[in-house]
């Protein structure tokens, strides 16, 4: 156990927790029942301060804080918000632990954070369920030919050819040559932690063979994975995959992991799904491969630049299913899971026990 007794000029003063979670996006704002749950868990020697000013929850969080938040953290020991801006660190000399309600942390690893003994924990795993369902639904969109169906519907064309004829009814639309069952697929998941593990469980439940890629392949494979390989085997696995799901964090080591050369290894029938970060793949090379018919399709929820610029060809390619970074959205599921994690960590913090989801600045996640 670790002694986390705070250094306070006035030992009789309460220990302070700041909640800065009033997201301007309604679905991400801490609901009243969530605030009540935190207050109910607070011991008598703790003060819970709730920032009413709106904050931004997009991306990794960490946008410039409100004046109210800056004032609230002045003597805070614990901060719970979307990311951790350097201005907050400088305004909070007693801050010891920050819990982010966002999963990504790359933009949060500032010199100010690294110079202080602040423990940073993230929301990894709390968004895994909706993101895994998104990945499965996106892959099914192309496996079942829903992109072709939508085009036929808009043209008022009752045309069964693409689904029943070997040659796609004379022309294979968007590379679709008949429906494929999930159980026929080999699925490659890059990143096997919370999101990747949830993806694997769902594809495996429908009969797919799922292979995971991670930095250290020696540990036991999580449920859903047939096996785990290291990054040195990525090229060979890409060439054999029907569906590729990118679920890894954005770090210097994963930047452009799926570049033009590796995209060239994929089968023409392959489907690429990105729910990780836009920096994981080369969008220009992906657009070129899709336009040339060298891939079946791409399901993209994250972009290298967000919002995606209007001039991007990805907007106009018929074999792209594109959403504006919403795969993690879950109106009813996120906050119960997030508060389970935070309240458990808060109890661990007070008891001097190891926290869950501690960020390793060296690894970048």
- Residues with a catalytic annotation lie at 277, 325
Q: Which of 201, 204, 264, 197 is nearest to 214 (CA)?
A: 197
Cβ distance 21 to 14 under 8 Å? no
Cβ distance 22 to 54 under 8 Å? yes
Q: Which of 203, 210, 247, 248 is nearest to 229 (CA)?
A: 210
Question: Which sign, positive or negative, has the C-alpha torsion 141, 143, 148, 153?
Answer: negative
- Here the tokens at position 200 are 């694997």
**Burial of 118 per CB tally in 10 Å (0-12, 13-18, 19+):** middle
Strand pairing partners for 98? Answer: 79, 120
| 119-121: strand order across its sheet | 46-50, 15-20, 78-81, 97-100, 119-121
Percent helix / strand / coil, the chain, rounded to 5: 35, 15, 50
DSSP 358: B
The DSSP-derived string for 338-355 is: HHHHHHHHHHHHHHTPPP
Cβ distance 305 to 314 under 8 Å? no
């Amino acid at each position: 156990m670790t002694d986390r007794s705070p250094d306070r000029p006035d030992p009789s003063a309460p220990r302070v927790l700041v909640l800065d979670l009033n997201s301007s996006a309604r679905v991400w704002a801490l609901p009243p029942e969530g605030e009540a749950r935190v207050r109910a868990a607070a011991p008598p020697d703790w003060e819970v301060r709730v920032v009413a000013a709106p904050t931004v929850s997009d991306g990794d969080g960490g946008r410039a804080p409100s004046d109210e938040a800056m004032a609230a953290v002045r003597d805070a020991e614990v901060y719970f918000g979307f990311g951790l801006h350097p201005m907050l660190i400088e305004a909070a000399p007693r801050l010891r632990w920050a819990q982010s309600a966002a999963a990504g942390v790359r933009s949060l690893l500032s010199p100010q954070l690294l110079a202080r003994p602040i423990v940073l924990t993230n929301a990894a795993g709390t968004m895994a369920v909706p993101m895994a369902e998104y990945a499965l639904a996106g892959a099914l969109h192309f496996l079942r030919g829903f992109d072709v169906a939508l085009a036929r519907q808009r043209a008022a064309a009752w045309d069964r050819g693409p689904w029943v004829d070997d040659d796609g009814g004379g022309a294979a639309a968007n590379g679709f040559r008949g429906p494929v069952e999930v159980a026929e697929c080999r699925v490659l998941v890059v990143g096997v932690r919370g999101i990747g593990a949830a993806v694997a469980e769902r594809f495996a439940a429908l009969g797919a063979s799922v292979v995971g890629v991670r930095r250290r392949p020696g540990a036991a494979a999580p449920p859903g994975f047939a096996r785990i390989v290291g990054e040195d085997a990525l090229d060979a696995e890409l060439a054999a995959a029907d569906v590729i799901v990118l679920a890894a964090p954005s770090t210097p080591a994963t930047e452009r992991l799926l570049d033009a050369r590796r995209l060239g290894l994929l089968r023409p029938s392959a489907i690429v799904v990105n729910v990780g970060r836009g920096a994981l793949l080369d969008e220009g090379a992906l657009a070129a491969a899709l336009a040339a018919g060298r891939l079946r399709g791409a399901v993209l929820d994250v972009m290298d630049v967000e919002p995606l610029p209007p001039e991007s060809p990805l907007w106009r390619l018929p074999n792209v299913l594109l959403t504006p970074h919403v795969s993690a959205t879950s109106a009813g599921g996120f906050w119960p899971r997030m508060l389970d994690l935070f309240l458990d960590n808060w109890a661990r913090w007070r008891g001097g026990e190891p926290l869950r989801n501690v960020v390793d600045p060296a690894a970048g996640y």
